[in-house]
Amino acid sequence: MGDETAFLGVERSVLGRRWMGPDAALQRLTDAMAQTTRLPRAVCAVLSRSGVPPEGAEDYLAPSLRALLPDPRGLRDMERAAARLLAAVDGAEKIAVFADYDVDGGASAALVICWLRAMGHVATLYIPDRIDEGYGPNVPAMETLAQTHELIICVDCGTVSHDPIAAARGADVMVVDHHLGTETLPPAYAVVNPNRQDETGDLGHLCAAGVVFLLLVEANRQLRARGRQGPDLMAFLDLVALATVADVAPLIGVNRAFVRQGLRVMSARSRVGLRALADVARLEAAPTAYHLGFVLGPRVNAGGRIGAADLGARLLASDDPVEAEALAERLEVLNAERREIEAAVRAEAMAQAQARGAEGALVWAAGDGWHPGVIGIAAARLKESLARPAIVIGLDGDEGKGSGRSVPGIDLGAAVQRLVREGLVLKGGGHRMAAGLTVARGQIETAMERLSELLAQQGAGAAGATSDLRIDSALMPGAVTVELIEQLETVGPFGAAAPAPRFAFPDMRIQSLRRMGETHLRLRFGDGESNSLEAVAFGAFESELGPALATAQGTRLHLAGKVEINQWGGRRSVQLRLDDAAVPNS
């Protein structure tokens, strides 16, 4: 990618973007792969963009967990943590699982709870309240849990919780996390975290559930060494896949295998909680990575955002169909409420950010009364719309709680930790793609200015960041078949660090179109011959795209988007999810 010539000559599209295709070297690799593998050129274009050589295509298209799974013992404290977990099981000790309130935390907790249940052990689940307790372990909760439990396992949190872990007197505390660590570790029995300062960082792309899975792999290994059989961990991969996608972990290396294998497990609908959730979401087709991130994930998150914090984890860990159905229905209601609250905050935040100016390395907004449960989603929307790291802060009294989302290549968590060290925020942390912080009201402007400087040093806001639309290759409507899309899906799953392929359809004519609701648009376009394709443009009338398309019927246009299979009423058809359009020679 990176040819200086705009793809199809599009210097400025309807949405103000410059279309950029593969450079000459990448096109040569694509041609060579097509000749060697006999795969469709569109598939080869995506493989080449992903850095896959022709001889590696077969293995890449069928990622093996056995081949890609790292040795858990490569992480510090792993063997010690697994041994302590088994000792607690053998000694019938009381175990508490303290987890974050998001999907990754809930899935991580469910992994531990389900593994212990299979071992004949019942654990206590504790999820802190987002508003009253905030993120991670706190002193009162840890003191209370330590009074009645011999072992406390903190998942997706705890790496920087020095005082709360010290307060858990009388109990051993294990941390299984992925958030960035500081120079000193908390006084825990074990801290298993690929993002500890003394780790190599080779597994830093794992979400917490991925790290928990490795812990259970090591525990099963130690059981086998004793001549005992542990629970079937392949059946747990649906939880790992859900957390990996929902936490926006990069879909590279073993994460690809986690998600691919996890989706297969999920399609069997054997986990009662996920089955109930899919049913209330009216998910009829086999789940994809998109469904994990945009259908199931938000519903699991809804409890932690605006309801009871433990609902999502309880649902994922449930083995009771009646309980699971009730929890899923409750989360569905909460998710609808969350969407209403989030829409209001998002609109205010966007207006404020645009008024402030969206040309720098960071976009941010702050407002009184903004619900802390939706500021992360609002930050994600700002990031998506403006292609820059974003922070949204909800103010309450003299303090504000902020949530941030980053763009590929920019480590937001490290920058926020730098603010903590410099004393500009009261506390904060996170990982590369997401972070949280607490800041004094009077320090917000200074802190955000400094954060913008730190992100600019990493390259955020560089020229072209907001104006380029990456295109993998050109297609014609007649080439888009169910079979082609299924082959393209084997290159996935697609998500963070592995964007779904985008194709351009040159010189098309819109044959028909109709508005759907207030903001969406459905249309059919063709090449002037007998070939045509359905397309849908979600949110088209929230931008310039909708009005431009509505007046373009019969005129020539270049169209760009992602091809997908649309399942409706038991039928499967192909369609384009439209991202942008351009007038030829524009």
> Residue 449 forms beta bridges with which residues?
none
Give the pLDDT of residue 586: 60
349 inside domain: no
341 inside domain: no
Which phi and psi angles does 239 have, rounded to 5°?
Answer: -70, -40
Taking the C-alpha atoms of residue 289 and residue 262, their distance in angstroms, rounded to an integer, is 10
Taking the C-alpha atoms of residue 388 and residue 410, their distance in angstroms, rounded to an integer, is 9
565, containing H or E segment: strand 556-568
Give the pLDDT of residue 270: 96
CATH of residue 476? 2.40.50.460
Residue 553's domain spans which residues?
7-60+471-582
E strand intervals along 21-117: 95-99
Same domain membership, residue 430 and residue 301: no
Residue with tokens 């903590």: 420
Same domain membership, residue 148 and residue 115: yes
Give the pLDDT of residue 504: 98
Same domain membership, residue 249 and residue 116: yes
CATH of residue 438? 3.10.310.30
Which phi and psi angles does 377 have, rounded to 5°?
Answer: -65, -40
Taking the C-alpha atoms of residue 335 and residue 259, their distance in angstroms, rounded to an integer, is 24
Q: How many CB atoms lie within 10 A of CB 91?
A: 10
Same domain membership, residue 559 and residue 420: no
Same domain membership, residue 240 and residue 171: yes
Taking the C-alpha atoms of residue 244 and residue 241, their distance in angstroms, rounded to an integer, is 5
First to last CA, the chain: 21
Same domain membership, residue 154 and residue 115: yes
Residues 6+ apart with CB under 8 A from 472: 21, 22, 42, 45, 46, 49, 501, 502, 503
Q: Which of 457, 486, 504 is a domain's end point?
A: 457
Same domain membership, residue 43 and residue 86: no
Taking the C-alpha atoms of residue 339 and residue 487, their distance in angstroms, rounded to an integer, is 34
Give the pLDDT of residue 386: 85
Number of domains within the chain: 3
The per-residue pLDDT string of the chain (586 residues; one tens digit each, 9 = 90 and over) reads 444 689 999 999 999 899 999 999 999 999 999 999 999 999 999 999 999 999 999 999 999 999 999 999 999 999 999 999 999 999 999 999 999 999 999 999 999 999 999 999 999 999 999 888 988 999 999 999 999 999 999 999 999 999 999 999 999 999 999 999 989 999 999 999 999 999 999 999 999 999 999 999 999 999 999 999 999 999 999 999 999 999 989 999 999 999 999 999 999 999 999 999 999 999 988 899 999 999 999 999 999 888 789 999 999 999 999 999 999 999 999 999 999 999 999 999 999 998 988 788 999 999 999 998 899 999 998 998 888 899 999 999 999 999 999 988 899 999 999 999 999 999 998 888 899 999 999 999 999 999 999 999 998 877 544 468 999 999 999 999 999 999 999 999 998 889 999 999 999 999 999 999 989 999 999 998 889 999 999 989 988 999 999 998 878 999 999 999 987 777 889 999 999 999 997 6
Q: Which of 294, 317, 332 is a domain's end point?
A: 332
And the tokens for 371? Answer: 């619900």
Q: Which of 289, 315, 332 is a domain's end point?
A: 332
Sign of the four-CA dihedral 224, 228, 234, 240: negative
466 inside domain: no
Q: How many CB atoms lie within 10 A of CB 124?
A: 14
Same domain membership, residue 243 and residue 328: yes
Same domain membership, residue 236 and residue 169: yes
Give the pLDDT of residue 4: 64
Give Rg (Cα) of the chain.
Answer: 24
Same domain membership, residue 107 and residue 22: no
345 inside domain: no
pTM metric for this prediction: 0.88
Give the pLDDT of residue 66: 93
350 inside domain: no
435 inside domain: yes
Same domain membership, residue 507 and residue 559: yes
Same domain membership, residue 425 and residue 311: no
343 inside domain: no
192 inside domain: yes
